[in-house]
Amino acid sequence: MKPGLGRQLQGRRILITGGGTGIGAATARACAAAGMQVMLSGRRLAPLEKVVSEIRTSGGEASMRVGDVVAPGASEQLIDAMGEDFGGIDAVFANAGYGIEKPVLDATPEEIRRIFDVNLVAAIDLMRATGLRLREENRPGHLLGCASILGKFTMPGYGLYSSTKAALTHVCRSMRCELYDDGIAVSSVHPVTTRTEFFEVAQKESGAGHGPVVKDGVPTHAPRIFVQSADVVARAVVKCLRRPRAEVWTSSVGRLSAGIFELVPPVYEAMLRSEMRRKRREAGSGR
Ligand SMILES: NC(=O)c1ccc[n+]([C@@H]2O[C@H](COP(=O)([O-])OP(=O)(O)OC[C@H]3O[C@@H](n4cnc5c(N)ncnc54)[C@H](OP(=O)(O)O)[C@@H]3O)[C@@H](O)[C@H]2O)c1
């Protein structure tokens, strides 16, 4: 039998970190609309309350927990909370994360550690803890990690962010094989530029003199063909929950570019160097 939840999602229970905004919130709404019981987590109460209330008003089932994914014991506490509110867990979407845009030489050791802790270590910890619980209970399930198109290639300023997402992609790939015979599906999600709070947060997290230039919620460097809404990602995640896939892509152009970049690194790196020079000229450094 193939791993995963099967096509019928009614009554299945999913935990979504970073569920108060953006991709997490859209996925929470889409999962609830498909009949799933949804728990959201995040550090801010207000966005979580808003999404939970919207879902309940539309007749869906949702609850929430406030907390930081890197707090000690966070994953076990969230899984226990799923037991308290819904009697257990069937799926998890490790989605909480953020970006920074700054050259590696300008990043502090604390910034490096923190982005890996939030985007990678916490996501692995949550998928691992959920996988252990499912296996203990001998039940099928689905673990999803939010990677990115930038988990497949990178750009100047995105070395740290991309490497958290590339590592998460590999962890998902490995877990997918390790858990196949337990009936547990594992997928990585690879959004392209998505209109969410992400780029405003990236501006703040990158610090003065760094960060993306943001216009209408998206960075000016992003080709328009890559810009999408969070609902597009949410629909693709629900489709994947019904019929598990290794990787969730929402842009065939993005997927094709990632493949070409991997096949011909010199062409791609020449493009990146020219982009880096353009940025330097813009910044007026003249280097
Ligand atoms: N937007 C894009 O273009 C894009 C593209 C590819 C991949 N992604 C990935 O998609 C995921 C969701 O991002 P988004 O675009 O939806 O941006 P977003 O709206 O900023 O969502 C990020 C969510 O993560 C939560 N979060 C961040 N740090 C956390 C922490 N330490 N503990 C608990 N929750 C935390 C935030 O809530 P609180 O601040 O309340 O904690 C927020 O709800 C991220 O993993 C991101 O890397 C985004």
CA distance 27 to 250: 14
What is the chain's pLDDT, residue by residue, as a tens digit (287 residues)?
789 999 999 999 999 999 999 999 999 999 999 999 999 999 999 999 999 999 999 999 999 999 999 999 999 999 999 999 999 999 999 999 999 999 999 999 999 999 999 999 999 999 999 999 999 999 999 999 999 999 999 999 999 999 999 999 999 999 999 999 999 999 999 999 999 999 999 999 999 889 888 888 888 878 888 899 999 999 999 999 999 999 999 999 999 999 998 899 888 889 888 888 887 787 775 44
Q: Residue 266 C-alpha to ligand 1 middle, in angstroms?
A: 32
The pLDDT value recorded for residue 285 is: 58
Residues with a catalytic annotation lie at 161
Q: What pLDDT is attached to residue 20?
A: 98
Q: Whose CA is nearest to atom 23 of ligand 1?
A: 18
> In terms of C-beta density within 10 A (0-12 exposed, 13-18 middle, 19 or more buried), how is residue 265 classed?
exposed
- Which CATH fold topology does 13-251 show? Rossmann fold (3.40.50)
Atom of ligand 1 nearest to the CA of 17: 34
Phi-psi region of 4 (alpha: psi -120 to 50; beta: other; left: phi over 0): left
Q: What is the pLDDT of residue 56?
A: 98
Q: Give the ligand 1 atom nearest the CA of 222.
A: 3
Residue 70: count other Cβ atoms within 10 Å of its Cβ: 13
CA 98 to chain centre: 9
pTM: 0.96
Quote the ligand 1 centre to 98 CA distance (angstroms).
5
For residue 286, what pLDDT is reported? 47
For the beta carbon of residue 263, count every other beta carbon within 10 angstroms: 9
State the pairing for strand pair 214-215/218-219: antiparallel
Q: Which residue's C-alpha comes closest to atom 34 of ligand 1?
A: 42
Q: What is the pLDDT of residue 219?
A: 86
% helix, strand, coil for the chain, step of 5:
55, 15, 30
Q: Ligand 1 site: residues with CB under 6 angstroms?
A: 17-18, 20-24, 42-44, 47, 68-70, 95-99, 118, 146, 148, 191, 193-194, 196-198, 201
CA dist., res. 13 & res. 131, Å (int): 14
Q: How far is the CA of 150 from the centre of ligand 1 (A)?
A: 15
Counting from 1 in the atom list of ligand 1, the atom nearest the Cα of 19 is 43
Question: How far apart are the CA of 211 and the centre of ligand 1, in A?
Answer: 16
